[in-house]
Amino acid sequence: MRAGFIALTVAYVLSQFFRAFLAVLAPVLQTEIGADANDLAFATGVWLAAFAALQLPVGYALDYLGPRRTSSGLILAAIGAAVFALARGPVTVTVAMALIGAGCAPALMVSLYIFARIYPPTLFASLTGLLMGVSSIGNLAAATPMAWAASVFGWRACLWALAAGTALTTLAIVAFVRDPERAAMPGENNGGFFALLRTPAILLLVPLTLVHYAPVAGIRGLWVGPYLADAFGLDAVGIGNVTLAMGIAMIAGSFAYGPLDRMLGTRKGVLLGGNLALAAALLSLWAWPSAGLGLAVALLCAIGFFGSSYPLMIAYGRSFFPHHLAGRGVTFLNFVAMGGAGLAQIASGWLYGMTGRPAAPAAPYAMVFLFFGILVLAGCGIYAFTRDRLD
C-alpha cells in the first residue's frame, strides 16, 4: 500500500498545482489568447465548482466502490490538461478547467477516506495536515517553477507534460491502491447525505466550512497575479516569487493547524482564532492595497498561513459522523468547502468587473479582498455558537 499512498500523494500534488497555476500564467494568457482576469476568475471558479459538484458522487463511490476505482477518475484531469494545451480562447480554457476540476475531485478524498477507516480518529487532523503540507509541493511548483518553465518551454508544452504526468499517475493509482475492508452499513442509519445533516453542530459548522477556504483558493489561485501586476508592476517571475512565498506560508499553516487542537485542548478555539486572523489580514489588504509591496506580500503570506485551516475543519466535522458514513461525511464537507470557494471566486470576478477602470489600479482588488473578508467574518459569527469536540 506504500506505493499506493505515494501515487495518491502525487495525485493531490497535481490537484494543488492545477488550482493555483493560472495566477502566474495570467499575463501570457491575456496576451496570447485574450483571456483577461475576469475570464480566468470564471475559469478558476468553474474548476472549483466542478470539483465540488463531484464530491457527492465521490462520497457514494468511496463507500460502495472503494478508493481504487474512485480515484481512477483522475484521468479526466489529464484530458483537461490536453484540452488546455490546445486552447485558442477563454471558452476552451474554461472547458479545460472544468475537466481538470472534475478529475481532481477524488484526489484528496480517497486519502481522507483511508485515514478515516484505518487510523484512530485522534490522528485524522494531523494526518490530513501532513498530507496537505507535503502535497503543497504542487502549490509551490505552480509559482516560480511554472513561471520559469512557461518562459523557457512555453505554456502549451508545459500543459502537454502535465497531461502525460497526470495520465501516468492515474495508471499508478489503479495498479497500487488497495481498498480497505468495507464498513458495515446499518439499514436504519444508512440515510445517505441527509443523515449527515441531523446533527445541529454540523449545521452550525457549514457556514464557516463554506467560506474558510474561499480566500486562499481565490487569491492564491488567481487574484494574486493580476493584483501584483497592476498594483506594483511585477512580471511573471516576480509574481512567481511572491506566490512561492504565499505557498510556503500555506504549507506552514497546514502543518501548524494539524496538531494545535491537541496541544491547546480545543478545536473550536483554534479554528475560530485562525479564521478571525484570516479576516483581519484580508481587511488589512482591503484598507491598504497599495501601501507598499512589502506590506502586501506580508499580508498575502498571512492569508496563506491562516487560510490553511482546512485539515482541522474537516477533522472537526468528521468527528460527528458514524464510521459507515466516513466517505460521504468527508466528501460532503469537501463539497461545501470547494463549492463555496467556487461560488465565491465567480462572484469575485463579477465584483472585479463591476468596478470598471478606476484611477487607482489596486481599487478593484481592494473590493475583492473586502468581499472575502466579510464572508469569513460572517462564517465565524455563526461558527461561534457551535460546541467543541476533540474525538
Q: Per residue in 73-93, pLDDT tens?
A: 999 999 999 999 999 999 999
- What percent of the chain clears pLDDT 90, i.e. is strictly above it? 39
Kindly give the interhelix angle for 124-135 and 310-318, rounded to the nearest 10 degrees.
150
> What pLDDT is recorded for position 323?
65
Most confident of 1-5, 126-130, 187-191, 369-373: 369-373
Between 2-6, 205-209, 365-369, the lowest mean confidence (pLDDT) is in: 2-6
Between 28-32, 123-127, 182-186, 358-362, the lowest mean confidence (pLDDT) is in: 182-186
> What pLDDT is recorded for position 268?
84
> What pLDDT is recorded for position 63?
75
CB-based burial label for 232 (10 Å; 0-12, 13-18, 19+): middle
> What pLDDT is recorded for position 188?
44
Asked if the model's pLDDT at residue 103 lies above 70, the reply is: yes
CA separation for the pair 308, 316 (Å, rounded): 14
Query: Quick check: helix, strand or coil at residue 154?
Result: coil
> What pLDDT is recorded for position 358?
66
Of residues 38 and 277, more confidently modeled: 277
Task: State the average pLDDT for the chain.
Answer: 85
Q: Find the largest Cα–Cα distance for the chain.
A: 63
Between 16-20, 21-25, 101-105, 116-120, the lowest mean confidence (pLDDT) is in: 116-120
> What pLDDT is recorded for position 166?
97
> What pLDDT is recorded for position 325?
66
Query: Quick check: helix, strand or coil at residue 291?
Result: coil
Q: How confident is the model at residue 44 (pLDDT cuts 50, 70, 90)?
A: confident
**Which grid coordinates are listed for 90?**
477563454
> What pLDDT is recorded for position 355?
76
> What pLDDT is recorded for position 114?
81
Of residues 336 and 301, more confidently modeled: 301
> What pLDDT is recorded for position 37?
82
List the one residue out of 251, 257, 307, 260 whose CA is nearest residue 279.
307
List the one residue out of 294, 174, 150 whose CA is nearest residue 234.
294
Distances (CA, A) of 357 to 41, 348, 353, 364: 17, 16, 9, 8
Q: Per residue in 239-250, pLDDT tens?
A: 889 988 998 998
Average pLDDT estimate for 120-129:
70
Q: Per residue in 146-196, pLDDT tens?
A: 989 999 999 999 999 999 999 999 999 989 888 777 655 554 445 555 666
> What pLDDT is recorded for position 79?
97
